[in-house]
Chain A
Amino acid sequence: MDWLGPEEWRAIALSLQVSFWATLLSLPLGILVAYALARWSFPGKQLLNGLVHLPLILPPVVTGYLLLLTFGRRGVVGQVLDQWFGVMLAFRWTGAALAAAIMAFPLMVRAIRLSIEAVDPKLEQAGATLGASPLWVFLTITLPMALPGIIAGAILAFAKAMGEFGATITFVSNIPGQTRTIPSAIYAFLQAPGGEGPAMKLVLISVGVAMAALLMSEYVGRRVAARVGGR
Chain B
Amino acid sequence: MLEVSLRHRFEGFALDVNFRAPPGVTVLFGRSGSGKTSIVNAVAGLLMPDAGRIAAGDWLLLDTERGLRLAPHRRRLGYIFQEGRLFAHLTVRQNLAYGGWFAPKGAPREDFGRVVEMLGIGPLLERRPGALSGGEKQRVAIGRALLSAPRLILADEPLAALDEDRKAEILPYFERLRDTVNIPILYVSHSASEVARLATTVIAIEAGRVVAQGPAQQVLGDPAVLPVGAREAGAVLKARIARHDDDGLTELDAMGVSLFLPRLPQPPGSEVRVRIAAHDVILSRARPEGLSALNILPGVVVEVRQGEGPGALVSLDTAAGRVLARVTRRSALALGLAPGVGAHAVVKSVSVAPSDIGGGRPGGG
Which residues of A come within 8 Å of B, CB atoms?
120, 122-123, 125-134, 136-137, 140-141, 144-145, 147, 227-231
Q: How far is the CA of A231 from the CA of B88 in the complex (A)?
A: 9
Give every chain B residue within 8 A of A128 (Cβ-Cβ): 45-46, 71-73
Chain A interface helix/strand/loop/mixed: helix
Interface residues on B, range: 20 to 34
- Residue interface mask B46-77, A partner, CB < 8 A = 1: 10000000000000000000000001111111
Q: How far is the CA of A173 from the CA of B223 in the complex (A)?
A: 87
Give every chain A residue within 8 A of B76 (Cβ-Cβ): 131
Name the distance in Å between B92's Cβ and chain A's nearest Cβ.
Answer: 10
From A130, A147, A230, contact of B99 by CB (8 A) = A130
A122 touches B89 (CB 8 A): no
Q: How far is the CA of A129 from the CA of B88 in the complex (A)?
A: 17
From A123, A129, A134, contact of B77 by CB (8 A) = A129
Within 8 A of A (CB), among B118-158: 128-131, 144-145, 148, 154
Give every chain A residue within 8 A of B168 (Cβ-Cβ): none
From B89, B98, B148, contact of A144 by CB (8 A) = B89
B85 touches A132 (CB 8 A): no
Within 8 A of A (CB), among B81-112: 81, 83, 85, 87-89, 98-99, 101-103
Name the distance in Å between A139's Cβ and chain B's nearest Cβ.
Answer: 11
B98 touches A231 (CB 8 A): no
Give every chain A residue within 8 A of B85 (Cβ-Cβ): 120, 122-123, 125-126
From A130, A132, A145, contact of B89 by CB (8 A) = A145
Give every chain A residue within 8 A of B73 (Cβ-Cβ): 127-134, 136-137
B88 touches A125 (CB 8 A): no
Decide yes or no whether B44 CB sits under 8 A from chain A.
Answer: yes
How many inter-chain residue pairs (CB < 8 Å) link A and B? 81
B75 touches A129 (CB 8 A): yes
12 contacts between A and B (CB under 8 A): A123-B85, A127-B98, A128-B45, A129-B79, A130-B145, A131-B99, A131-B101, A136-B73, A141-B89, A144-B89, A230-B131, A231-B130
Q: How far is the CA of A133 from the CA of B83 in the complex (A)?
A: 22
B87 touches A123 (CB 8 A): yes
Q: What 4 pairs across the A-B complex have the smallest Cβ distances?
A: A230-B130, A131-B102, A230-B128, A230-B88
Give every chain A residue within 8 A of B102 (Cβ-Cβ): 130-133, 136
New A-B pairs, 13, CB < 8 Å, besides A125-B85, A141-B89: A123-B87, A128-B46, A128-B73, A129-B79, A130-B79, A130-B144, A131-B74, A131-B76, A131-B102, A131-B148, A133-B71, A230-B130, A231-B128
Name the distance in Å between A137's Cβ and chain B's nearest Cβ.
Answer: 8
B103 touches A131 (CB 8 A): yes
From B75, B83, B130, contact of A229 by CB (8 A) = B130
Q: How far is the CA of A144 from the CA of B88 in the complex (A)?
A: 10
Q: How far is the CA of A142 from the CA of B140 in the complex (A)?
A: 21
Given A131-B148, A132-B73, A231-B128: A126 and B89 interface contact (C-beta under 8 Å): no
